[in-house]
């Protein structure tokens, strides 16, 4: 809501609107939780031997997770999938596994993400289910 002034500084009696005042941004809260809130977690890390204190030559120190704790964190945190730069197709059959899935056009073939990963590792997924039977029927009909 704008405030109105009955006259301007030059003495004109016409009504003029003041520009609206925007609220000033507040300073970011760098510490959303008090550090004491983490005391139980920190005590658990110490008591289970999951952190170790590393001393430096200059007299300073630093706390680091043990190798076992870091490996376990890697196991618990799945790697994020990379965003695909290619267009995704919802209604195409994967040319490798013959399943109707989300596919991407890769080198002229529609491949699902699983088959793309297998292909990147040098493997190929075998077709399953009714598509194997359909392929077998197709081979029989061609051989007659």
Domain boundary assignment for the chain: 88-143
- Residues 71 and 63: their CA atoms lie apart, in Å, by 17
- Identify the residue with better confidence: 43 or 30: 43
Q: How far is CA 66 from the centre of its chain?
A: 26
H-type helices in 1-144, by residue range? Answer: 39-47, 67-76, 113-120, 130-143
Quick check: 45 and 30 in contact, CB under 8 A?
no
Q: Given a cut of 60, is residue 119 above it in pLDDT?
A: yes
Render pLDDT for 74-112 as a digit per residue (tens, 0 to 9): 888 877 666 667 788 888 899 989 998 889 888 888 989
Render pLDDT for 127-137 as a digit per residue (tens, 0 to 9): 555 555 555 55
Q: Given a cut of 60, is residue 39 above it in pLDDT?
A: yes
- Residues 86 and 103: their CA atoms lie apart, in Å, by 10
Q: What is the pTM of this model?
A: 0.36
């Amino acid at each position: 809501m704008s405030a109105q002034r009955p006259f301007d500084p030059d003495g004109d009696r016409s009504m003029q609107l003041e520009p609206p005042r925007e609220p000033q941004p507040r300073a970011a809260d760098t510490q959303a939780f008090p550090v004491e809130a983490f005391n139980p977690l920190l005590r658990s890390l110490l008591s289970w031997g999951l952190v170790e204190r590393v001393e430096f030559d200059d007299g300073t120190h630093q706390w680091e997770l043990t190798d076992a704790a870091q490996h376990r964190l890697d196991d618990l945190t799945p790697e994020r999938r990379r965003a695909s730069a290619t267009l995704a197709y919802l209604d195409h059959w994967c040319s490798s596994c013959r399943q109707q899935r989300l596919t991407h056009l890769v080198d002229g073939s529609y491949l699902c993400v699983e088959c793309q990963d297998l292909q990147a590792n040098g493997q190929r997924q075998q077709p399953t289910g009714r598509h194997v039977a359909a392929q077998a029927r197709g081979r029989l009909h061609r051989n007659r």
